Amino acid sequence: MKLRSILHRAALGGGLALVVLLVGSWFPGGGFISDAEARIGRPMTPASVAGVARRTTRRTIRRTSIYAATLPRGCTTVVIEGTTLHQCGGAYYQPYGSQYVVVNVD
């Protein structure tokens, strides 16, 4: 039992020494690991607003069960996620055969 206690203390002391050497926050010159040099605002940094928005913003298009033979007046053609839709006010229509289906864009 005494040998086990000595081994636990030695492992704990070695781990603490390793942390002090690697982080080096207690030494004026620092340790082996320095501060990160990431620049916020660059596209390749994880905290970049543009990068985060590009990776997380995905629009989904879900069909409903509402069909229309013709489009309402004043519709514009838009492309969302590579899909051509017709935007009529706040509603979106997708061509489906010879008619149009109302879709939800999230």
**Rounded distance between C-alpha atoms, residue 74 and residue 14, angstroms:** 74
Q: What does the domain layout of the chain look like in residue ranges?
A: 2-53, 58-105
Identity (one letter) of the amino acid at 102? V
pLDDT tens sequence across 3-61: 777 777 777 776 666 666 555 555 555 555 555 555 555 555 555 555 555 555 567 88
pLDDT tens sequence across 60-99: 889 999 999 999 999 999 998 889 999 998 899 999 999 9
Structure tokens belonging to residue 10: 């030695």
In the predicted model, what is the mean pLDDT of the chain?
74
